[in-house]
Amino acid sequence: MKKLACVAILAAAAAAVTLAQGGPASELDKAAVRQAAYDYAEGYYEGAAHRMERAVDIVLNKRGLIARPGSQPFLTPMNAEMLIEATRSGGGKNTPADARGLSFALLDIRETVASAKIFSAAFNDYLHLVKRGDTWKLVNVLWQPPSPQGAANAEADKAAVAQVFKDFFEAAPGGDVARVERLVHPEAAMRSVVPVAGGRLILREGNRESLVEQVRTRSVPPPPTPTVTVLDVYDGIATAMVTTPTSVSYWHLAKQNGQWRLVNRLTR
């Protein structure tokens, strides 16, 4: 069983932009990722369904971590069709332009995948994006409303998130099903970007059930020298990156009942 070779915890202010295996991201790609994030956020506030439709992939997987008085935080789902229709209905137009407080950070970008965040007055969103031809599209989103807690416990939360990955990379290759089930959210989306004929990219879908079956049958090999970077943490949501000599995986995590669990993965 291999241990994690390195766990690097970076503050959000670093917002590191890293070169890809297979080639660096261009300045045009970085600008296009930023534009997709603003089409997503500003599009909603403006009620501009065409901007939202331009930003999100048809297979968008979006979840919000919502807290209600007297109950534990829970995940609520939304797909591309629901989101575009909600934008068209103009629900976000109640917030004046000068009160939206939009802020964007490109957390990491590779040749065809990227991780970013866009925070605003009503929504704090972590994003995974894929390059489809010449266009960048949002494929995974984890968000929560702004919280009074904010990033007050950021350092402790970053350490806890890093520990989740250490535990996961020990448990999965070792066939420890019970431990993996504790670490991975029941609604986890485990997605991989796969090249197919004609140079196109498709998303291969997976979930906790398929992952657990791989663990049960000992078909999850230990990753070669993975490096974990906690990119950002905000209250009950976090975003991280795992790199090996041959791959990159972006992850979203949610904190419920005091426990951080893996929610979204995008691997390239």
Q: Which residues of the chain have pLDDT under 70?
A: 1-23
pLDDT reported for residue 23: 56
pLDDT digits (tens, 9 = 90+) for 59-94: 999 999 998 888 889 999 999 999 999 999 998 998
Tell the burial category of 161 from Cβ atoms under 10 Å away from its Cβ (0-12, 13-18, 19+).
buried
**What is the SS3 assignment for 200?**
coil
Predicted TM-score of the model (pTM): 0.89
Question: What is the per-residue DSSP string for 9-70?
Answer: E--GGG----PBTTBPPPHHHHHHHHHHHHHHHHHHHHT-HHHHHHHEEEEEEEEEEE--TT
Q: What is the amino acid identity at position 166?
A: K
Domain 6-267 has CATH 3.10.450.50: yes
Burial class (CB in 10 A: 0-12, 13-18, 19+), 265: buried
pLDDT of residue 178: 97
pLDDT in tens, 133-159: 899 999 999 999 999 888 778 999 999
For residue 202 the two structure tokens come to 């498709």
Give the span between the Cα atoms of 51 and 17, in whole angstroms. Answer: 25
